[in-house]
Structure 1
Amino acid sequence: MKYTSEIQINLSREKVIEKLDNAKNMKHWQKGLIGYEFLSDDPKAVGAKMNLSYKMGKREIEMTETIIKNDFPKEFHAVYDAKGVHNIQKNYFSEVDANTTKWVSENEFQFGGLMMKVMGFLMPGAFKKQSMKYLIDFKNFAEKGISVAE
């Protein structure tokens, strides 16, 4: 399953990347994040890995992020692996003007196991909606300081 989400953020690209590229800020725009752990000496290098833990409803989800391209401020690509799900995410950041940034996020989900394949087939909207929610929550955090942290 492939799809693209995008949003305009009313900040310069430099300020957007400054907020986005700080792991301490993730809790403010990724609802349900309960923790992260860097697994590499240089957490921003290509090939660097990070474990992420989320609580979504009553379920806890563990995933590993692996950076496949880090060319901030223009691009950041990573793969996210969780049980039964492999997500390739390519993020592009462009300057609309001096105070506006466009963030385009391309996602490709690959599902393993019958249950996840059925979920991906029956509920593609849930994945798209969650991706868009992260973009909106980041915009609110970056522009207005609104946090989703509990």
Structure 2
Amino acid sequence: MKYTTEIIIESPIDTVIRKLDNPENLKHWQRGLVSAEHISGTPGEFGAKMKLKYKMGKRDMELIETITYRNLPHEFHATYATNSMNNIQENYFKENSEGHTIWTSKSEFIPLNFFMKIMTKLMPKAFKKQSLLYMQDFKNFVENGTSVANA
């Protein structure tokens, strides 16, 4: 399953990237994040891996992020792997004529078991809705300093 989401952040690209590129900020815009632990490579650089743990309602989820391409401030790509799903993310950033940042995210979800294949077929809108929520939360964090850490 593939889709593209886009949001305009009313802030210059250098501010957006500085906040995006700081792992300490993840808790402020990724709902349910419990921990982020660097596990290999140079943090933030190509090939680096980080373990991300989330609590989504009653469900615990663990992802391994692997940075697959980094050309900041314009591009950041990574894969997110779980036992049941792989997610390929390509993130593109550009500044518009007003000095705001356009963030375009291309997502591909690859189910690794029958249940997740069914989920991607029956509920594709839920995946896109979750992606947009993270983007909106990041936008609110950058523009207003609003954190989801205590939500």
Q: Return the TM-score normalized by structure 2.
A: 0.97
Which residue in 2 is equivalent to 1:85?
85
Contact 2:38 2:51 in 1 (8 A): yes
Deviation, structure 1 residue 99: 2.8
**Partner Cα separation in structure 2 for residue 28 and residue 8 of structure 1:** 18
Contact 2:28 2:148 in 1 (8 A): yes
Q: RMSD over aligned Cα, in angstroms? A: 0.8
Contact 2:54 2:60 in 1 (8 A): yes
Which residue in 1 is equivalent to 2:111?
111
- Residues 9-52 of structure 1: CA deviation (Å, up to 9, x unaligned): 00000000000000000000000000010012411221110000
**Partner Cα separation in structure 1 for residue 76 and residue 84 of structure 2:** 23
Which residue in 2 is equivalent to 1:134?
134
Identical positions, percent: 53
Matched, 1:143 2:143: yes
**Partner Cα separation in structure 2 for residue 124 and residue 98 of structure 1:** 33
Matched, 1:123 2:132: no
- Specify the SS of the correspondent of 1:51: strand
Instruction: Provide structure 1 residue ranges, at least 5 long, that are not aligned to the other structure.
Output: none
Give the total of aligned pairs: 150
**Matched AA of 2:123:** M
Which residue in 2 is equivalent to 1:23?
23
**Partner Cα separation in structure 2 for residue 70 and residue 43 of structure 1:** 12
Q: Return the TM-score normalized by structure 1.
A: 0.98
- Specify the SS of the correspondent of 2:149: coil
**Matched AA of 1:50:** M
Write out the 4+ residue segments of structure 1 that deviate beyond 6 Å after TM superposition.
none
